């Protein structure tokens, strides 16, 4: 095997790992994918060390190892599915290594994301429907819809423009709490508790919770703990925001 081929294999594995970790995959799947690609490409003794903040791969036979830092956490499960599909096609021999590399590059840059206003409307629906099935009253449906939408919008915009990680949840929760309290005071809504419970639902760190469980159960304790702490801190930020709103306005 020539040196350029070996480098291409390592680079393909590394890109696959980076895309999957950034988009919110669990560690087990990343290691599995990296090893599957490497073995099918001809490197038998690949070693992969994957954590929530970085991916290291190496191989003793070709005396080379590479590292990539995982910084930008953006939830996009479609990318995970795309990489998964690519590695399956490669394993079945339907595409070559070079085609897989191009496919991964394409998945990294061109995977469709939903437009921002779709996400806004979706977050409104999450808030309003969950408010109802968690025993809220129908009178508050529209109000919860808009409060949830505003909260999610604030959180996304702060995250995108200022790159603040937990403060965005704090501020979003604060605004939602304040809006709910003021609306009830003005007589425009009835049940503060259920409005707030429903409205914060789009902020729930569902991905961090699920992945933390799955990582710990498969023995990847480092990433599992990291994600568990992330989920706890997000929950704490939301709680803090609500608490401040209550202290100021209630």
Partner 1 sequence: MTILINMLFSFISTVTFSVLTNIPRRAFIASGITGMVGWMTFWFCKNSGISLGFANFLGAFMIGMMSIFFSRKMRMPVTIFNIPSLVPLVPGGPAYMALRQMIQGNVTSGLDNLIIVLITSGAIAIGFMITGLVETILRTLRQNIVRPRQ
Tell whether residue 129 is a contact of partner 1 (CB under 8 A). yes
Q: Is 76 helix (H, G, I), strand (E, B) or coil?
A: coil
Tell whether residue 25 is a contact of partner 1 (CB under 8 A). yes
Q: Which residue of 34, 171, 196, 226 would you call a contact of partner 1, by CB under 8 A?
A: 196
Count of alpha carbons within 13 angstroms of residue 117, beta-carbon side: 0
Stretch that binds partner 1, among 9-17, 53-61, 159-167, 237-245 (CB under 8 A): 237-245
Tell me, residue by residue from 50 to 69, as one string, x for binding to partner 1 by CB under 8 A and - for no binding. Answer: --------------------
76-105 residues in contact with partner 1 (CB under 8 A) are 76-78, 80-81, 84-85, 88
d(CA 204, CA 30): 24
Interface size with partner 1, residues (CB under 8 A): 50
Tell whether residue 218 is a contact of partner 1 (CB under 8 A). yes
Please, which residue, 133 or 186, has the CB nearer to partner 1? 133
C-alpha triplet 50, 56, 59: angle, nearest 5°: 120
Q: Which residue of 96, 217, 229, 248 would you call a contact of partner 1, by CB under 8 A?
A: 217
Q: Are 188 and 215 in contact (CB under 8 A)?
A: no
141-160 residues in contact with partner 1 (CB under 8 A) are 152
Tell whether residue 107 is a contact of partner 1 (CB under 8 A). no
Q: Which residue of 103, 207, 226, 234 would you call a contact of partner 1, by CB under 8 A?
A: 207
d(CA 174, CA 138): 24
Q: Which residue of 6, 12, 59, 123 would you call a contact of partner 1, by CB under 8 A?
A: 123
Tell whether residue 243 is a contact of partner 1 (CB under 8 A). yes
Q: Give the tokens for residue 138.
A: 């129908």
Stretch that binds partner 1, among 5-13, 23-31, 49-57, 182-190 (CB under 8 A): 23-31
d(CA 33, CA 37): 6
Count Cβ atoms below 10 Å from residue 13 Cβ, excluding itself: 27
Please, which residue, 66 or 76, has the CB nearer to partner 1? 76
Q: Are 203 and 169 in contact (CB under 8 A)?
A: yes
- Cα-to-chain-centroid distance, residue 250: 34
Phi and psi based region of residue 163 (left: phi greater than 0; alpha: psi -120 to 50; beta: remaining): left
| Dihedrals phi, psi of 75, to nearest 5 degrees | -75, 115
DSSP annotation of 201 reads: G
Bridge partners for 67 per DSSP: 56
Q: Interface with partner 1 by CB under 8 A: which residues? A: 24-26, 29, 75-78, 80-81, 84-85, 88, 113-114, 118-119, 121-123, 125-126, 129-130, 132-134, 152, 193, 196-197, 200-202, 204, 206-207, 209-211, 213-214, 217-218, 235, 239, 242-243, 246-247
């Amino acid at each position: 095997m020539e040196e350029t081929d070996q480098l291409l294999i390592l680079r393909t594995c590394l890109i696959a790992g980076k895309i999957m970790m950034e988009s919110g995959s669990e560690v087990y799947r990343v290691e599995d994918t990296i090893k599957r690609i490497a073995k099918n490409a001809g490197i038998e003794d690949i070693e992969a060390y994957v954590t929530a903040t970085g991916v290291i791969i190496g191989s003793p036979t070709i005396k080379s190892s590479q590292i990539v830092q995982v910084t930008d956490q953006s939830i996009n499960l479609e990318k995970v599915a795309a990489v998964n599909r690519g590695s399956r096609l490669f394993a079945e021999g339907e595409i070559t290594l070079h085609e897989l590399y191009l496919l991964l590059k394409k998945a990294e840059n061109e995977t469709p994301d939903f437009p921002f206003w779709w996400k806004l409307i979706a977050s409104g629906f999450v808030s309003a429907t969950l408010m109802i099935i968690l025993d809220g009253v129908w009178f508050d449906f529209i109000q919860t819809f808009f409060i949830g939408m505003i909260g999610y919008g604030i959180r996304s915009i702060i995250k995108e423009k200022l790159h603040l990680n937990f403060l965005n949840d704090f501020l979003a929760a604060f605004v939602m709490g304040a809006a709910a309290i003021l609306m009830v005071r003005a007589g425009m809504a009835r049940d503060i508790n259920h409005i707030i419970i429903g409205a914060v639902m789009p902020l729930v760190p569902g991905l961090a919770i699920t992945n933390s469980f799955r990582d710990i159960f498969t023995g990847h304790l480092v990433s599992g703990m990291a994600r568990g702490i992330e989920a706890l801190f997000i929950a704490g930020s939301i709680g803090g925001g609500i608490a401040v709103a209550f202290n100021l306005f209630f």
